[in-house]
Structure 1
C-alpha cells in the first residue's frame, strides 16, 4: 500500500512538472513584431538599407479593424551588414522583429546588380527564418517602393505578393517562384545560374503609397510581376521579357499551365491552353564539342478561336498543333539567345553535361560560361490537343453584319 502511494506521488509530481515547464525559447505574441515582408537596397558608403514590413494586428483584425491605421508598418535601418541593420532597427521598433512568418523578400534592382550573396548569408544562417518565402527583384525601382505600398483585396502587401506569385507560377509561364534554398544552390553551382522574378509598380507610384489606392474601384497603382531576372553568379545581368520568360519555363521543365497564342492564316488569332508539359534535356559531346538536345512533350486544350477554323476536323487540329509547336520553339530560342548573350546558363545545361560526361565536365567546368555562349541547342516540341471545348466550328463567321 505504501509502495503504491509513493508511486502515485511520483507520477503526480511528474505531471505537475510537465504542466509548469515550457519551451526555453518560448515567446509571447504580444512581445513580437511579426515580419511578413523584407527588402534590401544599396545605401551610401557601401552600406545596406534594410526594410521590414510588420503586421499591425489592430489594422487587420476582423472584429475591430482600425480604419485610421495601416494594416502594416514599414521599418528601416542602415548597416554595414544585414544583421547590424536589423539590430539597429530595435531603436525604432516597439517590439522584437520576428521573421518566422516571412512571405516575400525583395532586392532593389541596383542592389541586385551589385551582388546579392552577402545579404543571403544572414537569411540562410538565422535560426528564426524558414526557407519557404519567395525572393524577387524590384524591376526599375527600389525594395522600399515595393514594400511601401497599399494593395487591394489583401490588406497585407507581402501576402498579396506571395499569393500572386504562387498562382502565377502555376498558371502563367513568364513567372517563376524561387525560394531561398534553390537560389543559393543555383548561385553556387557551376552547371546552372540563378533567376528571380521581377516585380514592378504599374501606374502612379506615389498613389500606391496612399490609402486612397485601395478605396477606389479602379486602383491608381498596382504591384505587377513582370519578366525574369538573369543572374550570373550573384549579380543581375539582365531581364527577359514575357516571351523569353515563357521560353525559359519551356526549357527548364517549369511549365505547368499557360496560354499559347497562334496567328491564323485567314487573319485573326487562335490559342491553346497548355495543361501538361514535360521537358527532357540530353547532352552529347562529339569531338570534344558539347551539344544539347531538348525534347518537350505537351498536352493542350483549344482555348479560343477568333478566326474561321473548324476544330471538329482532325486536319485542322493537326495544323493547330504544328503552329503551336513552332510558337513554343520560337519562345524557347529567344530565351536561349538572351541567356547566351550574357553567358549565364540559367537552364542547367551544364548539369546535363556533368551527368552524362563527368570527365569532360571536370576539364571544362571553369570555362563553362564561355562555352555556353556558343553551345548548340536543338529544340523539339511535340504538342497534342486533347480537348476542343464544347463547340467545333466557331460561330464568329456566322455573326450577322
Structure 2
C-alpha cells in the first residue's frame, strides 16, 4: 500500500511538470545579431537586420563561399510591422534573443528614440544585454552591411570593440537598453550614447573584397558621445570631452593621455586607476558641485629630457598631470552647460540625494539650474610606476 501511494505521488508530480512546449529548432530560425532602425522620407520606419549564416561560420568550414551574415530590410508604419514584413524575403522568422547590437540612425535619434526603445523593451524575445550606438553621419542600415576582419560576424566585432574601447580608451560608453531607458525617464540625469562612424569606401566595405586584403577599404569606428535631451539627440561631444565625461561619471577603467614636460617635449601617461567623488553643497541657498578626482598613473612613454630618478621631477609631473586633467574636465562641463544645457553628468541625482527638500522645488526645472551651477574640480594625481627603465636611453644617446 505504501509503495502504491509513493508511486501515485510521483505520477502526480510528473503531471505538473512543464515541458518545452514552445521549443524551436535553430535550423528553423533566422538568428539576428544586430538591428538597425532608421526613418525614411515618408515617415516610415526602415528596419534592417544582420542575420547569421550558421553554415558559413561553423568551426569546420574552411572554404567560405558566401558571406558569414546576410542582410534583410523592410519598411513599416511601426518597427514590429517592418520586422514581420521581412518574412516576405526571409525563408525563416527573425529571432532576436541573441541580439548583440542595436544601431539607431542619427536622423531618427534627432526626432526621438522613444518608439524604438518601446518596441525593444516590450517584445518578449529581446534580452537587455545588447549594446546601443548611434550611426553618426550615416544610416544604421549602412553600418550593418560592412564586413569586418578578425570577427567573422560584424555584430560581434562591434560589440567587442565597444566593450574593449570603454575599458582601454575611455571616450566611449557601452550603454545597454535598461540603462538608456533609465537615463531618459529619470530626473537629474540625461542620456548619452556612443557614436558609430563608417569610414572609407562603403561599396567595397559591403563586399568580400573588404576582408580579403590586409587593410580594409571600409571599417566602422566608434567616435564621440551623443548628447540627449529626454529621448532626442541634441549634439555630440568630441573625443576630449567624451573622456572628460567618462572621468566625471566614474567610467574610466584604463586610458592614456599626453602631458607637456617641464622643459619642452611630451610624455604619455597611462591611467591605471581613477575615482571621482561628487558632492553637492548649498552656498547662499544655491547648489554647488564639488568633484574630487583621485587618479593613479604610470609613465608609458618619455619624449623629453627629464630625470625621473629625482623626486622633484615626479612631483612636477604630477602637478602638470593634475592641471591637464582638471582643464579638460572643466572644459567639458562648460561646453555642456553653455551649448547643450542638459545635465548628462547626473549632478541632479547627487543634489537629490544630498538635499532632498531643495530638490523637490527644482526637479522640474533642473536643467535651468544646472546651466549656471558652479562646479569645483579638485584633482590629485599620483605617479605609481615609471616603467621598466628610469631615464630614456634616447636622452643618454643625445
Q: Shared topology, TM-score over 0.5? A: yes
1:380 equivalenced with 2:378 (yes/no): yes
Q: Which moved more, 1:200-209 or 1:176-185?
A: 200-209
Paired with 2:270 and 2:54, the residues of 1 have a C-alpha distance of: 41
Question: Quick check: 1:390 aligned with 2:388?
Answer: yes
After the TM superposition, which residues 200-349 of structure 1 pair with which residues of structure 2 at under 5 Å, given as runs? 200-340=197-337, 341-349=339-347
Question: Cα offset for 1:11?
Answer: 7.8
**Deviation of the 1:80 alpha carbon:** 1.4
Question: Any idea what the Cα deviations from partners look like across 1:339-360, whole Å, max 9, x if unmatched?
Answer: 1121111100011111111121
Does 2:177 align with 1:180?
yes
Query: 1:361 maps to which residue?
Result: 359
**Superposition deviation, residue 198 in structure 1:** 0.6
Q: 1:55 — aligned with what?
A: 52
The residue matched to 2:377 in structure 1 has which SS? strand
Give 1:99 shift: 0.9
Following the alignment from structure 1 to structure 2, what is the Cα–Cα distance between the partners of residues 296 and 153? 37
Q: Contact 1:198–1:229 at 8 Å: present in 2 too? A: yes
Query: What's the counterpart of residue 102 of structure 1?
Result: 99
Question: What SS does structure 2 have at the residue aligned with 1:165?
Answer: helix
Q: How many residues align?
A: 397
Provide the C-alpha distance between the structure 1 equivalents of 2:388 and 2:42, rounded to a whole number of angstroms. 63
**1:66, distance to aligned residue in structure 2 (A):** 5.3
Q: 1:352 aligned to 2:338?
A: no
Answer yes or no: is the 8 Å Cα contact 1:267–1:307 preserved in 2.
yes
Q: Deviations over 1:113-163 (max 9, x none)?
A: 111011100111111111101000011111011101110110101000000
User: Take 1:92 and 1:65, find their aligned partners in 2: how far apart are those partners?
Assistant: 28
Aligned counterpart, 2:125: 128
| Off by >3 Å, runs of 4+ in structure 1 | 6-19
Distance 1:196 1:110 in 2: 14
| 2:70 alignment partner, one of 62, 70, 73 | 73
How far, CA to CA, are the matches of 2:28 and 2:51 in structure 1? 13
**2:138 maps to 1:141:** yes
SS at match of 1:250: helix
| Residue pair 1:260, 1:327 contacting (<8 A) in 2 also | no
Question: TM-score, structure 2 length as denominator?
Answer: 0.95
The 1-side partners of 2:6 and 2:342 are apart by 70
Q: Is the Cα–Cα contact under 8 Å of residues 300 and 383 in structure 1 kept in the other structure?
A: yes
Contact 2:261 2:317 in 1 (8 A): no
RMSD of aligned Cα (Å): 1.8
Residues 250-272 of structure 1: CA distance to partner in whole angstroms, max 9, x if unpaired?
11111111112102233321021
In the alignment, which residue of structure 2 is the partner of 1:150? 147
Q: In 2, distance between residues paired with 1:358 and 1:181?
A: 25
TM-score (structure 1 length as normaliser): 0.95
CA contact (8 A) 1:150 1:213 kept: yes
Which ranges of structure 2 fall in alignment gaps of 5 or more residues?
A: none
> Aligned partners of 2:206, 2:134: CA distance in 1, in Å?
19
Q: Corresponding residue for 1:118?
A: 115
Q: Which residue of 2 aligns with 1:169?
A: 166
